[in-house]
Structure 1
Amino acid sequence: MHKIVKLTLGLLLCSTSTYSVADLYVTPWVGYTLGGSVENQDGEDFDLKGSTNLALSIESDFDTGRIGLFYTRQATEVEKIKQDSDVHYLLFQSSIHYQLDEQLSSYLGLGLGGSYIEAGWVDNKLGFSASIMGGFEYKLTEQLALNGQVRWLGTVVDNDTTGVCNLPSSGSDSCVIQFKTSWMNQVSTNVGVTWRF
């Protein structure tokens, strides 16, 4: 019994000490997201309003880059017809970093995961999503850096789902809306502060 306890403790210590060598990067982000559109029964297009987004990434060193998770949320509404929509993304991502000088580096990365669309007019709220990102990181200290990025976000949506909406002009006019295509494209620009642990 003592051998099993010693072996378990030894494995835990080895795995912990190996993990502690890898740096952990935590970045809260604030940004602005554009894109996404719906159409009504008459074929008229309405865009999702561009709005601010909040995000968080947690990454670790991997080869010449980083690997980790990225979460973002955008609260928006459909233009003109005032239908609220919250879009959430959770992505597993990896990136390659290129050192430009002692303090500045650039990076390029990909992400895969899922999205959740919180809207009364959407039936199938979950979808597959993907992301491509690029940006720059400026090191202020060994533990702190400023970060900026541009990110394309794409998600599979159910464009067979329709929902009823009221047009704001008279209040009695109603319409039926749905996603315009089965793939929604969005672009976000983000700035953040990266803490290295």
Structure 2
Amino acid sequence: MNFRQLIALALCFALTASPAVADIGVAPYVGYRMGSSVDIETSGASIKDQIRFTDTTSHGLTLNFDLPEAGKQGELYFGRQETSAKLDNGHFAPGTQAIDVTIYQLQFGGLYFPGGKTYGGFASGVLGVTRLEPDDSAFDTHHRLALSLGGGYQFFLNERLRLRLDLRGIYTALDSGGSAFCSGGCDLKYRSSGYLQVEAGAGLVLRF
């Protein structure tokens, strides 16, 4: 099963798992994502370096369904960012210091509105997987556990429409000592246990 089939399956699960009487909100969004660096070393630990992901725009989709308790919603979050992974000093392969990478997130969790409504300020928390997919198929693709925590505000426009603003931190866990992006034989290993990205986004929520 590829990543796109997994997304479709997760959407179907979220829709069928929601209570029959619940309202559902779908919100395409656009945002801007900023990230930290990732410490790496060669397999012999003789050279240390850092991978830096370029700050770029992001986009995706959130799907929410109301839970029986007022002010609580389940949430399915899908995010996508096209960026570049750059080494400060070394090379991923001979003559290759940077590679284009698409980062996907597919996560499930929920929203909490302290006011007990479906608009206003909220806190969010979702857990799932990050996919790091180099555009060049010669380099390895990685799947890693990810957690996102954040908050935001939904402005009430009418009964079926909200304006949603989000700020979330996305933490992706790495296997310290595991291989980094590789082409053929791999000399690069992660020294970091994970990396953090911060995403600010805005979208329109359509409720039906």
Give the TM-score category using the shorter length. Answer: 0.7 to 0.9
1:161 aligned onto 2:179:
yes
Give yes or no for contact 2:121–2:154 (8 Å, CA) kept in 1.
Answer: yes
Structure whose alpha-carbon radius of gyration is higher: 1
Instruction: Give per-residue Cα distances to partners, 1:154-189, cap 9 Å, x unaligned.
Output: 112244214468xxxxxxxxx965544121211111
Match of 1:26, as an amino acid?
A: V
**CA gap 1:126/1:46 in 2 versus in 1, 3 angstroms:** closer
Pairing 1:60-139 to 2, within 5 Å after superposition: 60-62=65-67, 63=69, 64-79=71-86, 81-99=97-115, 105-119=120-134, 123=140, 125-139=142-156
**CA gap 1:194/1:70 in 2 versus in 1, 3 angstroms:** same
The CA distance in 2 between the partners of 1:164 and 1:129, in whole Å, is 21
The CA distance in 1 between the partners of 2:190 and 2:159, in whole Å, is 45
Match of 2:128, as an amino acid?
A: G
Unpaired runs of at least 5, structure 2: 1-15, 88-96
Instruction: Give per-residue Cα distances to partners, 1:28-68, cap 9 Å, x unaligned.
Output: 01001111424464323241001111110111011222102
- Name the counterpart of 2:196: 185
Match of 2:59, as an amino acid?
A: L
Match of 1:153, as an amino acid?
A: I
1:50 aligned onto 2:55:
yes
Match of 1:151, as an amino acid?
A: R
The CA distance in 1 between the partners of 2:202 and 2:140, in whole Å, is 33
Provide the identity percentage.
25
Q: Which stretch shifts more, 143-152 or 81-90?
A: 81-90
The CA distance in 2 between the partners of 1:106 and 1:140, in whole Å, is 14
The CA distance in 1 between the partners of 2:171 and 2:114, in whole Å, is 25
Unpaired runs of at least 5, structure 1: 1-14, 166-174
Length-normalised TM-score, structure 1: 0.75
Give yes or no for contact 1:122–1:161 (8 Å, CA) kept in 2.
Answer: no
Match of 2:202, as an amino acid?
A: V
**CA gap 1:93/1:103 in 2 versus in 1, 3 angstroms:** closer
Cα RMSD over matched residues?
2.8
Match of 1:66, as an amino acid?
A: Q
The CA distance in 2 between the partners of 1:70 and 1:138, in whole Å, is 19
Give yes or no for contact 2:140–2:182 (8 Å, CA) kept in 1.
Answer: no
**CA gap 1:55/1:187 in 2 versus in 1, 3 angstroms:** same
The CA distance in 2 between the partners of 1:135 and 1:182, in whole Å, is 28
